[in-house]
Amino acid sequence: MNEAKAVRSRKDGGSSSVDASYSYTVLLAALFAIAAGLVGSVALMKRMVLASDVISHLALPGLGVAFLLKINPLVGGGATLFLGTLLIWQLQQKTGLATDAMIGVVFAAALGIGALVTPNEDLLEALFGNFQKLSLAGFLLGTAAVILVVVSLVHMKDRLILDLFSSELAAATGVNVPRLDLGFLLVFSLTVLVGLRFMGALLSSALIIIPAATARQLTGRMTQFVVVACVTSLVSVAAGFVISTLIFKTSTVGPTIVIVSVLLFALSLLKKK
């Protein structure tokens, strides 16, 4: 009798642990959605939306190397993501080429290297992510990253608005525009890094691009624009998780989240200007 109770107790404990792990994953995905909505709003106004799609691919070589070495993929992905971001910024400063042009050069190299070094059995996860249980430590680190993104955007808000209005005026008032651009690129990359777990290197930028574009269709006021982008991103993640886990029974939720966000964008096109 006592042994049976002990077995049931261990099973219940294991079940609650698994439930908590998946709860951490869902909560972090929701936080990522909010961060993506905020960053995407600024990126759209800075005309860097296409750049976001390319920056996420910078993580692919690091993910491939991490899979080869059997270490945490986010460590490798984060390393090449931030190194690539710094390289883009440095090249932009030294060559004078536009950010998009520099991203295109680095992107081609990153995609080629990533496809070459990533093991075939891990390529799908590297590209599209995976819905896996998350430890408390992983959840706390991801939450800290999202908080850092939000705090950084709030700290840069006034300078970003001035730069959006006129880079020359911002520089004349004492704003270090190159350093501001670097700061935003790093915040951008940190947001992508949080989303790699769920969306992979190929799709993690989707929640930065599409919800912001949807919000732009629905409103022209800045505050409403940011709020709508965050809400659209949250709805896309929530619906994507539900559809993937309950209907398709798959742990690869990234494609479903993207499809939902695209459908929301399509619906926004019905709004009359």
Look at residue 45 in the predicted model and tell me its pLDDT. 87
Q: What stretches of 70-218 adopt beta strand conformation (E)?
A: none
Rounded CA separation 273/268 (Å): 11
Rounded CA separation 43/208 (Å): 8
Rounded CA separation 229/19 (Å): 29
Tell me: domain 29-268, CATH 1.10.3470.10, correct?
yes
Look at residue 174 in the predicted model and tell me its pLDDT. 86
Rounded CA separation 28/32 (Å): 6
Rounded CA separation 243/170 (Å): 45
9-13 long-range contacts, CB within 8 A, separation 24+: none
Look at residue 39 in the predicted model and tell me its pLDDT. 93
pTM for this entry: 0.83
Look at residue 57 in the predicted model and tell me its pLDDT. 80
Look at residue 135 in the predicted model and tell me its pLDDT. 83
Segments of the chain with pLDDT less than 50: 1-18
